[in-house]
Amino acid sequence: MRSIPVAQFHDELKSQGVKSHMDFAFRCPICKTVQSARDLIAAGAGKSFDDVEGYLAFSCVGRWTGAGGHKKGDATGRGCDWTLGGLFRLHQLIVVTEDGKEHPRFEPASPEEARAHAAKFEEQAA
pLDDT for 106 beyond 80: yes
Q: What predicted TM-score, i.e. pTM, was given to this entire model?
A: 0.89
**Residue 33: C-alpha distances to residues 79, 98, 109 (Å):** 6, 29, 10
In the beta sheet, which residues pair with residue 107? 27
Least confident range of 2-16, 22-36, 68-82, 105-119:
68-82
pLDDT tens for 18-69 read: 999 999 999 999 889 999 999 999 999 999 999 999 999 999 999 999 887 7
Reported as a pLDDT band with limits 50, 70 and 90, residue 71 is low
Q: How many domains does one find in the chain?
A: 1
Its sign, for the CA torsion 51, 53, 59, 64, is positive
Residues of the domain holding 71: 2-125
